[in-house]
Structure 1
């Protein structure tokens, strides 16, 4: 039953080519165009432009390790534009049947848990596809950099680097899934496509402000439970820092693992469970 629902949702989504293009391909395309423009600037202007990109003349002939490129692309997979465009896809996927009043036609043919589960599987698969295309975009920019600056290409990935890649990739994918879970809950409760689109964005904006004001105004500790539990984006950044520490010294204590991990899991599971519980009791006779 779940497989049937997932196939049906995937088929419907496959007919919406504009939505697939926006959510899966637009962010990588802009990343490639922006990367090529910066590389062109660095090559034509040299000096400050090259240094700003970390392409100082002394390292221009150093080999370019594509393994590092994969890790860097995975680290940027859940960027702001990707989250927003995936949110558009999620709002359409989750609230489309309310908008077009088709729930009453399909709910008699499958269980409600399976119907909602099918949408979830398709959405998580869409996030997976978006991240894969973004990885390809990162490789394209890296290959263009190697060609422009005449750098040789290598692929040297140790076991530790492979673990970093897998964990960073999973974290970015989980961040996308967690973010669009708010759209699922909003769509089920409000039965509105616009609300499913606007509420997660507004919540994310408020959380960004709290992340900046919390330590200064409310005295929240960046490594404490309060800030992590209220701000899943902060928890995601903390987990990424633990997996791949930034270059150079980091001021302050190291990020806390368990508050960050607990926050990301709760912000993923609680909206899902609440949406499932609400949807199972919902009257769909007029939807």
Structure 2
């Protein structure tokens, strides 16, 4: 039954082109266009290239993925998550679908489909960074160089990708929880964005790692990314990174479980 719910939710998302574009495609495409425009502007304004400049496509891709969970990108992810999770409140269609499957399966399917779409969005972000790097290399006559860590880059990139994806899944779970409580797509977006901005601001002001600071998702993720992306001989202590991973998983479990429990008990006779 869960597989049927996932297939149905995936089909609905594919048909909702507005949600797909604004939620999962716009941010990567906008970053690509902004980078291209910046390179063209600098080239036309200064009429010369920077001597000795090089282009590292690997670091560009990893940096783009690492920053894909910031407040600006989170806004568009919240739009996509709200459309998936809370769209049935807007269209008052819950009473049509709940008799066909269990509530647990229906909401779990929405979260799983969001996880799939966000993973593709992160991959598109990395691809956009690579394309922007190739364009910059040509326009600025900056030769391509390999990553300084060699084959270890694949492991670092995979680690950063998974950590960022975990952050994005938290954004989706947050949108689900707020969407269930408010029964509104706009409420899920606005309240979710406020939470993301507040915790990102708090994480930027924190320096020392402790269990209290690592309870801030953005700070825990930053600590994890620093640990994973650091060269083998220069990695910081693994203790804070491990605790940060536990905190992120706990937050994800709490938000997703809260959304599922509340939705299971919710009165949907008018939805």
State the TM-score bracket (shorter-chain normalisation): 0.7 to 0.9
- The one-character-per-residue Cα deviations of 1:210-255 (angstroms, maximum 9, x if unpaired) are 3456x5xxxxx630111221x2111111111111249xx99x9998
Deviation of the 1:110 alpha carbon:
0.8
1:1-287 to 2 correspondences below 5 Å: 1-46=1-46, 56-57=50-51, 59-60=52-53, 62=54, 64-153=55-144, 158-211=150-203, 222-229=208-215, 231-245=216-230, 256-287=240-271
- Unaligned 5+ segments in structure 2 are none
Deviation of the 1:183 alpha carbon:
0.9
- Unaligned 5+ segments in structure 1 are 51-55, 216-220
- Structure 2: how far apart are the matches of 1:155 and 1:257? 27
Tell me the matched-pair count: 268
- Structure 1: how far apart are the matches of 2:108 and 2:7? 11
- Structure 1: how far apart are the matches of 2:220 and 2:257? 21
The 8 Å contact of residues 36 and 135 in structure 2, kept in 1 or not, is answered as yes
Structure 2 length normalisation: TM-score?
Answer: 0.88
Deviation of the 1:269 alpha carbon:
0.8
Deviation of the 1:198 alpha carbon:
1.6
What is residue 53 of structure 1 aligned with on the other side?
Answer: none
- Structure 1: how far apart are the matches of 2:35 and 2:124? 15
Structure 1 length normalisation: TM-score?
Answer: 0.83
- Structure 1: how far apart are the matches of 2:228 and 2:62? 11
The 8 Å contact of residues 238 and 255 in structure 1, kept in 2 or not, is answered as no
The 8 Å contact of residues 242 and 255 in structure 1, kept in 2 or not, is answered as no
Q: Secondary structure at the match of 1:78?
A: coil
- The one-character-per-residue Cα deviations of 1:179-228 (angstroms, maximum 9, x if unpaired) are 22111111122222222122111222332443456x5xxxxx63011122
C-alpha root-mean-square deviation of aligned residues, in Å? 2.7
Q: Secondary structure at the match of 2:212?
A: helix
Deviation of the 1:111 alpha carbon:
1.4
Deviation of the 1:100 alpha carbon:
1.7
